[in-house]
Chain A
Amino acid sequence: MNPVAQINPGGRKRFLNRARGLGLFYLVLAIIILVWTLRASPPDSLSRLGLGVILQPPPLRLTVPTQPSLIVIGLLLGLTGLYALFCSPPERATSMLLGGGAVLIVLGAIIAAATDKSIDLVGLIKDSVRLATPIMLGMLAGVMCERCAIINIGIEGMMLTAAAVGYMVSLYAQNMWLGLLAAILAGGFMATLHALLTIQLMVDHIISGTCINILAVGVSGYIRAAFLLKNPFGAPGLFPYVFQGTPLWDIPILGTILFQYQPMVYAALVLVPLVWFVLFRTPWGLRTRAVGEHPRAADTVGIDVFKIRYVNVILAGCVAGLGGAWFSLETVGHFDDLMTNNRGFIALAAMIFGNWNPLGGAAGALLFGFADALNFKFQILEVNVPYQFIGMLPFILTMIAVAGVIGRTTPPAADGQPYRKQ
């Protein structure tokens, strides 16, 4: 039985197909932008967009008049919306409209935020990638699990445990890399627990994931209270910047965007195409997807459904462990309670946004990372747009994506269902 078919029992032909939904959304947004611009944006202001810190003055930057630029952006977005709404563009064109509109919205937000101020565009991109990293790693963990039909909402807990254990080991061993290894193993351990509960004992996946999350709060809290608050060692520090001191680091613009990161960022950027390749180009991936769609069919051609699920889920936990290390070992330099701050759940939103594909999911993660980066910038600049609104945008997009209006998302057909051998 196909679960997707049950979601929509009415089966009415929707007026709101993908293109129309997108068009309507963009049109409403365009009107909001235009109204806001005409009423609230000062007519003579300039927006300065920096392009990275350059050693020699004058600094490289773009200066545009705020109000006219916003009006142009609003009108372009409105046209995009109207086109999508009334011209029923083909599927491919709709995807391009989605991307183009997103770029317009982002540009508009930055220009509006930079009213009478200067925003460093290149720095913004760099921060987005950096902040997207744990989301990206969590997303990969989610994709690896759900492609073989195990729902994993315990990613948050796996990352939190990994952050605590990784930090504890790096503190007591005074070695960051041992700490990283411990974080990966801690993530893998929590995932093994999830695998045992869901695959072997056939516990509901959501319940098992919730247990993992609650357990992680307790375990990490205990580790902090018992081992981290009072300890005889100095802080182990942070992961080094990989390319610091090489000529790559100093390349203008590109150097900032590509080479000024710590190891977890590169781990995520390498793992995204790697997981995609394994899933869609290798026998292991074909079998994994088969198990996620129709485990009985996989079983009848001699594929070991349980083995595929165990291996995928445990490896996914290890990837989530990398995400945990990003918090305590790469970014903050110590462990705080609940420091993962729901990034594990946002990772699942990115996964759905990307339609269970690592590449699309990475785009989703970057979008969320960008929203985070913009949020910080807005707070620093004291922009008069409520920054919470910018923080909300990706979630509104996700809800629309999940609702199937912009782009249909289809989970693997057997997602969340236990498998019994005959």
Chain B
Amino acid sequence: MTFALEMRGITKRFPGVLANDHVDFALEKGEIHCLLGENGAGKSTLMNILYGLYRPDEGHIFLNGHEVHIGAPTDAIRLGIGMVHQHFMLIPVMTVAENIMLGTEIVKGGFVLDRNTAAQRIREISRQYGLEVDPNAYIKDLPVGVQQRVEIVKALYRQANILILDEPTAVLTPQEVDDLFTIMRELAAQGKSIIFITHKLGEVFAVADRITVLRNGRVVGTTRPSDATQSSLAAMMVGREVILTVEKQPARPGRTVLEVRDLKVLDDRGSMVVNGATFEVRAGEVLGIAGVQGNGQTELVEALTGLRPSVAGHVMIDGVEVTNVSPRRISEQGVAHIPEDRHEHGMVGKYPVADNLVLNTYYRPPFAQGFVLNHRAIEEHAWRLVHEFDIRTPSVYVPANNLSGGNQQKMIVAREFSRPIKLLIAAQPTRGLDVGSIEFIHKRLIQARDQGVAVLLVSAELDEIMSLADRIAVMYKGRIVATVEAEQVDRAELGLWMAGVMSHPITEAVGAAEPRA
């Protein structure tokens, strides 16, 4: 049989990296084909080649048995290939219809935009595939799940027969993920072929017809969900047996270290995104804050670390009021911070590794002597941490930007752990990292906990929360809607709280959650 799409021997080199190494990939008509692999495995490179954003150094692409050359996204669009990017390619200040018609506008009278006809076509597509969107709504007013639908409609509007979905579930609630899967099955049933890129194993079994696993730019194998298990796929992705759970002893919580009462914080646009959050973290425990991205977690962490003022409420560390004090005063209370956006808040990319390792202590002896920095002390300190935390760098004088994501994150962790701390605030500490670095950072978090540090872990990855946290607080629309012992909940229940479907009394005391079987 002929495939809807066949990529043969695709090779793509970047300076110093072989991103795709003779990759073969075949897509049947009407199937959902999952492309699985770690970050950096070459999934995105392969899809960017298919969509005409990169040109392959070697290899051929066939559509329905005919060889095609895709030199630009326009070629891909013309050939019926549509892509929903991980970061949406939508313009917030324009309407749904304008975004969808952009580049393939309908005109009347030769040169005037025909918005009505475009809106009409969008409604037809919505009806045909069950993708509800309002053509006249502005993108900035739409929730993320709907924006994603707009992206899918945008591809269908261009008569795409092959849809590439690049990590589409990263920004969705578990319920929105289910909706997306329903849509994907409907599209496949109507003859569209779908390439679904992910690194989440659970999703593969929920929706895929076939699975191709990539590792280090090479195809490891293609299989069907019925022939695979989560651990067999994980081993294919990583190339060795992976321990999917984190080994840890039960927590032995001590005194309350961080106490947050009725905290209210505004976002950049002035809306109340943290709206009366109340919780506490005790020494020797990990409190995980679960929630879909954009429910106030970012602003909460910024307020706790002094990067953003709060408008009401209290933050206490060991009984000392630290509401709206400077980041340095908070840091000097013994608070470590692994920020969500490591490039923005975690490091100075152009500075060498050595300088980045003293960003929180440079002003104190031995690194500073009066007004002068002691470079010898800084260098010794840096080498010690580089060895202790296994930061892979040729020298401590390499700019931090030149390190890989995992090593940058290790550098930040090393810096934050390089002095005595009472409280660790870790926001999305493993986002975008390879499995090795994730294991390392998880181990370090549990180690800190066992040494009596109070750990606040904010993560959008439910798996991470469930494997690390001793207690879980669910954040929804700026509030902590539930606080429960980690052993007493399952994914489904957390999902409902994260979606705001179910409310739960905020439990303050340990074990006050309703007992469950």
Interface residue ranges, A against B (CB under 8 Å): 4-6, 8-14, 281-283, 286-287, 289-290, 293-294, 296-303, 410, 413, 422
Contact with A along B69-90 (1 / 0, CB 8 A): 0001110010000010100011
Smallest CB separation, A417 vs chain B (Å): 15
Q: How far is the CA of A296 from the CA of B113 in the complex (A)?
A: 22
- Of the residues B85, B113, B266, B268, contact of A282 by C-beta under 8 Å: B113
| Residues of chain A with a CB closer than 8 A to B48's CB | 422
Q: How far is the CA of A297 from the CA of B83 in the complex (A)?
A: 11
Counting CB contacts under 8 A, is B246 at the interface? no
Smallest CB separation, A43 vs chain B (Å): 49
A287 and B266 within 8 A (CB): no
Interface pairs (13), CB distance under 8 Å: A4-B268, A11-B267, A13-B270, A290-B91, A290-B102, A293-B94, A297-B99, A301-B154, A301-B158, A302-B72, A410-B93, A413-B93, A422-B54
Counting CB contacts under 8 A, is B311 at the interface? yes
A302 and B77 within 8 A (CB): yes
| Residues of chain A with a CB closer than 8 A to B308's CB | 9-11
B53 and A422 within 8 A (CB): yes
| Residues of chain B with a CB closer than 8 A to A301's CB | 73, 77, 89, 102-104, 154, 158
| Residues of chain A with a CB closer than 8 A to B72's CB | 302
Counting CB contacts under 8 A, is B111 at the interface? yes
Interface residue ranges, B against A (CB under 8 Å): 48, 51, 53-54, 72-74, 77, 83, 85, 89-94, 98-99, 101-105, 107, 111-113, 154, 158, 266-270, 308-309, 311
Q: Take A282-B111, A301-B102 as given contacts and tell me if A8 and B268 are in contact as well, using a CB distance cutoff of 8 Å.
A: yes
| Residues of chain B with a CB closer than 8 A to A287's CB | 102-103
B73 and A299 within 8 A (CB): yes
| Residues of chain A with a CB closer than 8 A to B85's CB | 300
Q: How far is the CA of A339 from the CA of B154 in the complex (A)?
A: 51
B102 and A286 within 8 A (CB): yes
| Residues of chain A with a CB closer than 8 A to B111's CB | 282-283
| Residues of chain A with a CB closer than 8 A to B112's CB | 281-282
Q: Please name the residue on chain B nearest to A299 by beta carbon.
A: B73
| Residues of chain B with a CB closer than 8 A to A281's CB | 112-113
| Residues of chain A with a CB closer than 8 A to B83's CB | 300
Q: How far is the CA of A303 from the CA of B101 in the complex (A)?
A: 12
- Of the residues B51, B90, B93, B269, contact of A5 by C-beta under 8 Å: B269
| Residues of chain B with a CB closer than 8 A to A410's CB | 93
Q: How far is the CA of A393 from the CA of B268 in the complex (A)?
A: 31
B53 and A286 within 8 A (CB): no
- Of the residues B92, B93, B270, contact of A11 by C-beta under 8 Å: B270
- Of the residues A9, A298, A413, contact of B102 by C-beta under 8 Å: A298
Q: Take A301-B73, A301-B104 as given contacts and tell me if A12 and B94 are in contact as well, using a CB distance cutoff of 8 Å.
A: no
Q: Please name the residue on chain B nearest to A5 by beta carbon.
A: B268
Q: How far is the CA of A294 from the CA of B93 in the complex (A)?
A: 10
A286 and B309 within 8 A (CB): no
Q: How far is the CA of A13 from the CA of B111 in the complex (A)?
A: 44
- Of the residues A286, A299, A303, contact of B98 by C-beta under 8 Å: A286
Among B48, B89, B99, B266, chain A packs the most CB atoms within 10 A around the CB of B89
| Residues of chain B with a CB closer than 8 A to A13's CB | 266, 270, 311
Among A287, A297, A303, chain B packs the most CB atoms within 10 A around the CB of A297
Smallest CB separation, B218 vs chain A (Å): 22
B91 and A303 within 8 A (CB): no
Q: How far is the CA of A283 from the CA of B94 in the complex (A)?
A: 13
Q: Please name the residue on chain A nearest to B72 by beta carbon.
A: A302
Q: Take A297-B89, A301-B89 as given contacts and tell me if A14 and B270 are in contact as well, using a CB distance cutoff of 8 Å.
A: yes
- Of the residues A6, A12, A286, A296, contact of B266 by C-beta under 8 Å: A12
Q: How far is the CA of A286 from the CA of B112 in the complex (A)?
A: 11
Q: Which 4 interchain pairs have the tightest Cβ spacing?
A: A301-B103, A302-B74, A297-B89, A283-B105
Smallest CB separation, B266 vs chain A (Å): 5
Q: How far is the CA of A5 from the CA of B266 in the complex (A)?
A: 12
Q: Known pairs A10-B308, A410-B93; list 6 more (Cβ under 8 Å).
A: A4-B268, A12-B266, A283-B111, A290-B94, A294-B89, A297-B99
| Residues of chain B with a CB closer than 8 A to A299's CB | 73
Smallest CB separation, B345 vs chain A (Å): 12
Q: How far is the CA of A116 from the CA of B316 in the complex (A)?
A: 70
Q: How far is the CA of A167 from the CA of B305 in the complex (A)?
A: 62
| Residues of chain A with a CB closer than 8 A to B94's CB | 286, 289-290, 293
Smallest CB separation, A252 vs chain B (Å): 38
Q: How far is the CA of A422 from the CA of B94 in the complex (A)?
A: 24
| Residues of chain A with a CB closer than 8 A to B267's CB | 11
| Residues of chain B with a CB closer than 8 A to A12's CB | 266, 270, 309, 311
A293 and B93 within 8 A (CB): yes
Q: How far is the CA of A9 from the CA of B309 in the complex (A)?
A: 9
| Residues of chain B with a CB closer than 8 A to A302's CB | 72-74, 77, 103
Q: How far is the CA of A74 from the CA of B172 in the complex (A)?
A: 56
Q: How far is the CA of A345 from the CA of B108 in the complex (A)?
A: 38
- Of the residues B93, B105, B154, contact of A286 by C-beta under 8 Å: B105
Q: How far is the CA of A300 from the CA of B91 in the complex (A)?
A: 12
Q: How far is the CA of A413 from the CA of B92 in the complex (A)?
A: 10
- Of the residues A9, A10, A14, A297, contact of B91 by C-beta under 8 Å: A297
Q: How far is the CA of A10 from the CA of B266 in the complex (A)?
A: 9
A294 and B91 within 8 A (CB): yes
Q: How far is the CA of A289 from the CA of B102 in the complex (A)?
A: 10
| Residues of chain B with a CB closer than 8 A to A4's CB | 268
| Residues of chain A with a CB closer than 8 A to B309's CB | 10-12
Smallest CB separation, B407 vs chain A (Å): 23
Q: How far is the CA of A422 from the CA of B154 in the complex (A)?
A: 21
Smallest CB separation, A306 vs chain B (Å): 13
A293 and B91 within 8 A (CB): yes
| Residues of chain B with a CB closer than 8 A to A11's CB | 266-270, 308-309
Q: How far is the CA of A410 from the CA of B269 in the complex (A)?
A: 13
Smallest CB separation, B420 vs chain A (Å): 30
Q: How far is the CA of A301 from the CA of B267 in the complex (A)?
A: 32
Q: How far is the CA of A301 from the CA of B83 in the complex (A)?
A: 10
| Residues of chain B with a CB closer than 8 A to A286's CB | 94, 98, 101-102, 105, 113
Q: How far is the CA of A298 from the CA of B158 in the complex (A)?
A: 14
B89 and A296 within 8 A (CB): yes
| Residues of chain B with a CB closer than 8 A to A422's CB | 48, 53-54
| Residues of chain A with a CB closer than 8 A to B311's CB | 12-13
Q: Take A287-B102, A422-B54 as given contacts and tell me if A9 and B268 are in contact as well, using a CB distance cutoff of 8 Å.
A: yes
Smallest CB separation, A360 vs chain B (Å): 16
Q: How far is the CA of A8 from the CA of B51 in the complex (A)?
A: 37
| Residues of chain B with a CB closer than 8 A to A282's CB | 107, 111-113
Q: How far is the CA of A299 from the CA of B268 in the complex (A)?
A: 28
| Residues of chain A with a CB closer than 8 A to B77's CB | 301-302
| Residues of chain A with a CB closer than 8 A to B158's CB | 301
Among A10, A283, A293, chain B packs the most CB atoms within 10 A around the CB of A283
Smallest CB separation, B258 vs chain A (Å): 22
| Residues of chain A with a CB closer than 8 A to B268's CB | 4-6, 8-9, 11
Among A5, A294, A299, chain B packs the most CB atoms within 10 A around the CB of A294
| Residues of chain A with a CB closer than 8 A to B269's CB | 5, 11
A300 and B90 within 8 A (CB): no
| Residues of chain B with a CB closer than 8 A to A293's CB | 91-94
Q: Take A9-B268, A281-B113, A293-B94 as given contacts and tell me if A298 and B53 are in contact as well, using a CB distance cutoff of 8 Å.
A: no
Smallest CB separation, A318 vs chain B (Å): 20
Q: How far is the CA of A182 from the CA of B224 in the complex (A)?
A: 70
Q: How far is the CA of A61 from the CA of B311 in the complex (A)?
A: 58
Q: How far is the CA of A293 from the CA of B138 in the complex (A)?
A: 14
Q: How far is the CA of A8 from the CA of B53 in the complex (A)?
A: 34
- Of the residues B73, B105, B266, contact of A300 by C-beta under 8 Å: B73
Q: How far is the CA of A300 from the CA of B105 in the complex (A)?
A: 15
Q: How far is the CA of A265 from the CA of B264 in the complex (A)?
A: 55
| Residues of chain A with a CB closer than 8 A to B51's CB | 300
Q: How far is the CA of A223 from the CA of B73 in the complex (A)?
A: 47
Smallest CB separation, B396 vs chain A (Å): 29
| Residues of chain A with a CB closer than 8 A to B113's CB | 281-283, 286
| Residues of chain A with a CB closer than 8 A to B98's CB | 286
Q: How far is the CA of A298 from the CA of B104 in the complex (A)?
A: 11
